[in-house]
Amino acid sequence: MVRLSPPGHGRLEFARTLEVDVGGGEFNVAYGVARLGLRTGFVSRLPDNAVAAIILNHARAAGMDVSAVKLTPPDGVGRRDRVGLNFTEVGMGLRPSVTLYDRGHTAMSLAQPEDFDFEQIFSAGCRWLHTGGVMAAISAQAPAIVERAIDAAKAVGARVSFDLNYRASLWTPAQARAVVTRLMPKIDVLFGNEDAFDKMLGIAVPGARPTAKDFNWEENRNLALAVVERFPHLRAIASSLRAVPNGSVNHLSGLLWYKGEFSTAREYRDLQILDRVGGGDAFGAGIVYGLLNDLSGPDTVELAAAYGALVHTARGDTSQATLREVMHIVEGGSAVIQR
């Protein structure tokens, strides 16, 4: 998606200029992994116009491979094969950030399973596929596309991660559960939070939802445990945790169940926020990076939480951090000026 945001903390209604960013749940994870230095690509369907070119250029600039993106002839009216948009206000203090989605009728939502030759796409030594609940919800045929992609990835031995990412505007819990139930056996690594576990898996633990004041570690552990019990084939479950005292300052942390053990990241308390969008995706990218590099559970979740926290200090959905900077945070590096 192309994201359009008023500069600073401006209000959309009164904006005279909008900043252009690029983002989207699954996209952000791939981008975040690319920033850490691994080769990544993304698969989508976009019209062949200048708005879509913004997305392609953004991905390529980070080194992502976009050769599997299927370009469609532009529709001069925007009735079909649109580029997905969102209008995002970056809130502050008392005022929350707001995202208005305008992603109906996109080229990707009109894609058919046969639009992509996943066997060919995954044939070049791919080690990981990341997808999730937003992708699976964007159209009636989206679950089939996701499933085909997963099958092709697994056929070449890649691991599959899936971010539940429940969006009430896209589907009902019942619809979501039907799709996720079918896909779950093929998923290796699951990302989700209390809301998604509840709505999409029907698994809830009282008190697991973080309040504005604090995290509920015990309940979150129990929740992840309940998920593992239901889906014992999962290699890992990861949750980013966030408490929201206000729009400018959040507490962040993360939790990873991996190889039979829980690891929890340090708490980033009173984290000052420039733009909170994309923080969860960067956490996810950190998990993927850690597991792909055979880091331990504790090292992986610390790296992921540091990455997620760091992404809150820059505008836009996608990571502007480097691996060196992430490790500086992981290692407890201070905010003293670097010269």
Footprint (CB under 8 A) of a copy of itself, residues 41-70: 49-51, 53-54, 57-58, 60-63
Write out the binding residues for a copy of itself, residues 133-162 only, by CB under 8 A: none
Of 295, 309, 317, 330, the one binding a copy of itself by CB under 8 A:
309
Write out the binding residues for a copy of itself, residues 197-256 only, by CB under 8 A: 212, 244-249
Closest distance of CB 47 from a copy of itself, Å: 9
User: What whole-number distance in Å separates Cα of residue 282 and Cα of residue 163?
Assistant: 12
CB-count exposure of residue 169 (10 Å: 0-12, 13-18, 19+):
exposed
- Give residue 247's identity as a one-letter amino acid code: G
Closest distance of CB 5 from a copy of itself, Å: 10
Closest distance of CB 304 from a copy of itself, Å: 15
Of 186, 235, 266, 315, the one binding a copy of itself by CB under 8 A:
315
Which segment (11-19, 154-162, 173-181, 186-194) binds a copy of itself by CB under 8 A? 11-19
Of 17, 112, 123, 172, the one binding a copy of itself by CB under 8 A:
17
Contact 34, 40 (CB under 8 A): yes
Of 180, 276, 281, 305, the one binding a copy of itself by CB under 8 A:
276
Interface with a copy of itself, residue 75, by CB under 8 A: yes
Which segment (183-191, 233-241, 290-298, 330-338) binds a copy of itself by CB under 8 A? 330-338
Looking at the DSSP bridge assignments, the partners of residue 254 are 240
- Give residue 212's identity as a one-letter amino acid code: A
54 contacts: CB under 8 Å, gap ≥ 6: 2, 20, 22
Q: In this complex, which beta carbon is closest to a copy of itself, that of residue 208 or of residue 234?
A: 208
Interface with a copy of itself, residue 39, by CB under 8 A: no
Closest distance of CB 324 from a copy of itself, Å: 9
How many binding residues for a copy of itself (CB under 8 A)? Answer: 87
Of 27, 268, 289, 307, the one binding a copy of itself by CB under 8 A:
268
Q: In this complex, which beta carbon is closest to a copy of itself, that of residue 152 or of residue 200?
A: 200
Q: In this complex, which beta carbon is closest to a copy of itself, that of residue 246 or of residue 296?
A: 246
Strand stretches in 171-273, DSSP E: 189-191, 236-243, 249-258, 261-264, 268-272
Of 198, 302, 317, 325, the one binding a copy of itself by CB under 8 A:
325
Write out the binding residues for a copy of itself, residues 100-119 only, by CB under 8 A: 100-105
User: What whole-number distance in Å separates Cα of residue 25 and Cα of residue 191?
Assistant: 12
Closest distance of CB 228 from a copy of itself, Å: 27
User: What whole-number distance in Å separates Cα of residue 330 and Cα of residue 325?
Assistant: 9
User: What whole-number distance in Å separates Cα of residue 200 and Cα of residue 48?
Assistant: 35
Interface with a copy of itself, residue 74, by CB under 8 A: yes
CA of residue 46 relative to chain centroid, distance? 20
- Distances from the Cα of 102 to the Cαs of 49, 171, 172, 278, 279, in angstroms? 17, 16, 19, 18, 21
User: What whole-number distance in Å separates Cα of residue 302 and Cα of residue 295?
Assistant: 10
- Distances from the Cα of 281 to the Cαs of 23, 93, 206, 318, 332, in angstroms? 10, 23, 25, 8, 22
